[in-house]
Amino acid sequence: MDHLLARGNPGLLDWVERVGSSARNAWRALADVPTWAPLVVGQMRRLGVDSIPIALFIALFTGIVLALLSATLFIGAVPPYFVGALVGKTIMMELGPVLTGMALAGRVGANIAAEIGTMRVTEQVDALETLAYDPLSFLVVPRVIAGTLMFPVVTSLAVAGGVVSGWIAAINLLDLTSPEFFKGLRMFYEGRDIWFGLVKSASFGTAITLAGCLMGLKATGGAEGVGSVTMKAVVLGAMSILVLDAFWALVLLK
């Protein structure tokens, strides 16, 4: 069978072998719980807790802009409480997760790629292997798990901050009352508004951290190589966010 496959398409057999080998290595790394489990909490703080300030900063100004923009679009056309509806739905389902993910693709993805890339070019990764540590379970797994768990937490705080800033902007800059704002927020709220954004943000966390780790492990050529893989990790993370955003919209919004 392998002989026939190789004759028909030699590249296909090589690709299948690489996929199988990667899956086997990933499973072995996940199964090595004693190695990665003690490192997860520290990575959760570095990748998640330390990212909260930048996520809140982006969300606060996003809420203000959305409130002003929605008022401009809806003035004289629909009741004022639609401002609350647009701010809430847009931030919870789309802008909160996506803008937070884009910001963290730069902060988290670049940090991981630079750190692991430096370890690769200075032969620290080889030293781990010499000490019988699997680089995947020691370097990759704790970061990917921490990113997957913490991105929804950071996104939740960003969404809350964006809605609050939109509310404050509406009542102070648009002469909208609090009851009117929250009327629109409640009227169009659905349960999926929350979990849809959280599912997306968890997948963003997995994609960004995995891109940073894999690019970092490919680093070669000293400082120039580290800079190159860092840039590639950020670009790959941002592209992954856009692809996953479209994927979840097609799957979960039908």
Residue 82 CA to residue 211 CA, distance in Å, equals 39
Q: Are residues 224 and 117 in contact, defined by beta-carbon separation less than 8 angstroms? A: no
How far out from the chain centre does Cα 141 lie?
A: 16
The backbone region for 95, taken as left when phi is positive above 0, alpha when psi lies in -120 to 50, beta otherwise, is: alpha
Structure tokens at 249: 């919209």
Q: Are residues 143 and 47 in contact, defined by beta-carbon separation less than 8 angstroms? A: yes
The backbone region for 190, taken as left when phi is positive above 0, alpha when psi lies in -120 to 50, beta otherwise, is: beta
Higher pLDDT pick, 26 / 185: 185
Q: Are residues 144 and 206 in contact, defined by beta-carbon separation less than 8 angstroms? A: yes
* pLDDT, tens digit, 9 for 90 and up, residues 123-152: 888 888 788 788 888 889 999 999 999 999
pTM of the model: 0.86
Quote the pLDDT of residue 11.
67
Work out the percent of the chain whose per-residue pLDDT is above 90. Answer: 43
Distances (CA, A) of 206 to 22, 136, 143, 152, 249: 17, 15, 9, 11, 18
Quote the pLDDT of residue 4.
46
Range with lowest mean pLDDT among 15-19, 110-114, 139-143: 15-19
Residue 55 CA to residue 161 CA, distance in Å, equals 9
The arithmetic mean of pLDDT across residues 95-124, rounded, is: 91
Alpha helices, H only, 135-187:
135, 141-173, 178-187
Residue 117 CA to residue 219 CA, distance in Å, equals 5
Higher pLDDT pick, 190 / 230: 230
Those residues whose C-beta lies under 8 Å from the C-beta of residue 149, and which sit 6 or more positions away, are 44, 48, 202, 205
